[in-house]
Amino acid sequence: MIKFKNSGITPENIYKKRRSFIKSIGLGASTLAMSTIPFVNKSLASERDKLTSYKDITTYNNYYEFGTSKSDPYRNSQIFKTSPWDIAIEGEVEKPIKLSMEEISEMFISEERIYRLRCVEGWSMVIPWMGFSLSKLLSKVNPTNKAKFVEFESVYDPAQMKGQRYPVLNWPYNEGLRIDEAMHPLTTVVTGLYGKKLPNQNGAPLRIFIPWKYGFKSAKAIVKIKFVENMPTSSWMWASPREYGFYSNVNPNVDHPRWSQATERIIGEGVWAPRVKTLMFNGYGDEVASLYSGMDLKKNF
Amino acid sequence: MSRYSKTLVFFLSLWPIYVISYQIIFNKLGPEPVDRIINHFGEWTLIFILLTLSMTPLKKITKSAEWIKFRRMLGLFTFFYASIHMLSYVGLDYRFDFEPLINDVLKKKFIFIGFSAWLLLIPLAVTSSERMVRLLKQNWKKIHRLIYIIGVFGVLHYIWLSKTIFFKPLIFLIILVILLLFRIKITRSASKI
């Protein structure tokens, strides 16, 4: 079990009031109050940073293991068993380890992290995750000098995951990061959202979240983290290398062959809300742009 | 009964409008309402293309000419829903902001082919009246064979916009292929006679 005291769970409406209260003092007392919330974008008062509702976050998901329609993950994941659950950290490391979810939640304290999520399909959400930096988890092992990349493997369990019975993607779901990207403090191990335990449809019991990359980079229900020498081929790269690159940084200047990435639609804003401009690195450029200095991001999309 | 059949088909063909009106009024469009509206009318356009294409085969199978009287109406409904589909994309999603739209049409092959299909529907809608049939004589048939190309374009539009192998576009493809095969059979058996 992930350790959140019951009393620590805040109902969504109170949660939102608290947020708007923090926002209002934040606006009054300038950025001083703001700086207590980690990594919140400067334009906090704008629509762009209004939290997406718990309902939308938990019923509108891309999680093909449970089906390809947006409502499938919520519908088909409720009886999914997330306990017992072990995560292996292996590959180019001195001593591979295996940690249970219990051990992980004892070792690391999950904090609230509000990040924007930008899907490659052109929509976005703002999600109050609970989690901690992946670097903390990775520091439990010593990578060898061969290690250059980190690979994430999601669970393979077609008995419980309907979608895996069809060759929609190259199962199990596979994603990867360069080591410096994986060690970046914004790269988060997620264990919950809205102060609650992570729902199954959002990747329980444990997923990663990389706020400056398109959503599909953030693998769900992870069972294996592997240090490797060569750039991993992710499931989406297997499916269509022309459309999905290894980096997949949010970039309004590089179009996906099927969708323009210049703008996005904010989930929950209603029929009449206009699209908004997509920000480079999803607005986290100040923190992460230096990771890619000197790289041609059109080529390394 | 058959006197009212056309009226009945007309009101049944408005089904997609009833559904979307209900969803708008009772706020059931879901988290991405614009996408929902566009997809709804896109899917119904394809269904109406297939329905339109089914009338001639049904005539052959049932040996009843009854079906043909619905063909024009179903064809016009195809154009009607294709237009709402296109307009909701242009107007509701992109707010008539033509710069990104033109960019989309030229660069994204699924939008290019979808837009082409809609353009090809225009001459069919314009020449749908009884007067036009008489005026164009043999040419009318030739023009209206465009519907086969439109059907193929429409299904390709759906296949190309899907992220991976999806079930629904494949169903549309299979039905379309069956309906088109009927044509080959029909013309063959007709040429034998």
**A239 vs B contacts (CB less than 8 Å):** 163-164
Q: Where are the domains of chain B?
A: 5-192
Nearest to A62 by CA among A115, A22, A122: A122
Structural domain includes residue A168? yes
The answer to whether position A154 is within a domain reads yes
- A187 belongs to a structural domain: yes
CB contact under 8 A, B164 and A258: no
Q: How are the residues of chain B apportioned to helix, strand and coil, as percentages rounded to the nearest 5?
A: 85, 0, 15
Would you state the pLDDT for residue A270?
Answer: 81
- pLDDT value at residue A255: 87
C-beta atoms of B32 and A123 within 8 A: yes
In a domain, A34, yes or no: no
CB-CB: which of A167, A258, A274 is closest to B108? A258
Q: Cβ of A169 and B108 within 8 Å?
A: no
Q: What is the pLDDT of residue A229?
A: 97
Give the total number of structural domains in chain A.
1
Q: Is the ipTM of this complex over 0.85?
A: no
Residues B130-185: tens digit of each pLDDT? 898 898 888 898 999 999 999 999 999 999 988 777 788 999 999 999 999 988 86
**Residue bearing the bigger pLDDT, B1 or A200:** A200
Q: Which residues of chain A have pLDDT under 70?
A: 1-47
Q: pTM (2 decimals)?
A: 0.83
Nearest to residue A218, comparing CAs of A135, A120, A291? A120
Assess if residue A66 is contained within a domain.
yes
Check CB contact of A140 with chain B, cutoff 8 Å: no
Can you count the helices (H) and strands (E) in chain A?
A: 9, 12
Domain harbouring A231, CATH code: 3.90.420.10
Residue A118 lies in a domain: yes
pLDDT in tens, A152-170: 999 999 999 999 998 889 9
* Mean model confidence pLDDT for chain A: 87
Inspect the interface and report whether the beta carbons of A68 and B166 lie closer than 8 Å: yes
In a domain, A39, yes or no: no
| CB pair distance less than 8 Å for B103 and A260 | yes
Q: What is the pLDDT of residues B47-74, one digit of tens each?
A: 999 999 999 999 988 988 889 889 999 9
B169: chain A residues, CB-CB within 8 Å: none
Residues B165 and B161: their CA atoms lie apart, in Å, by 11
- Whether A232 is covered by a domain: the verdict is yes
Provide the residue range defining the domain that includes A89.
50-292
Q: Chain-centre distance of CA A35, in angstroms? A: 22
Q: Which two tokens stand for residue A164?
A: 């895996």
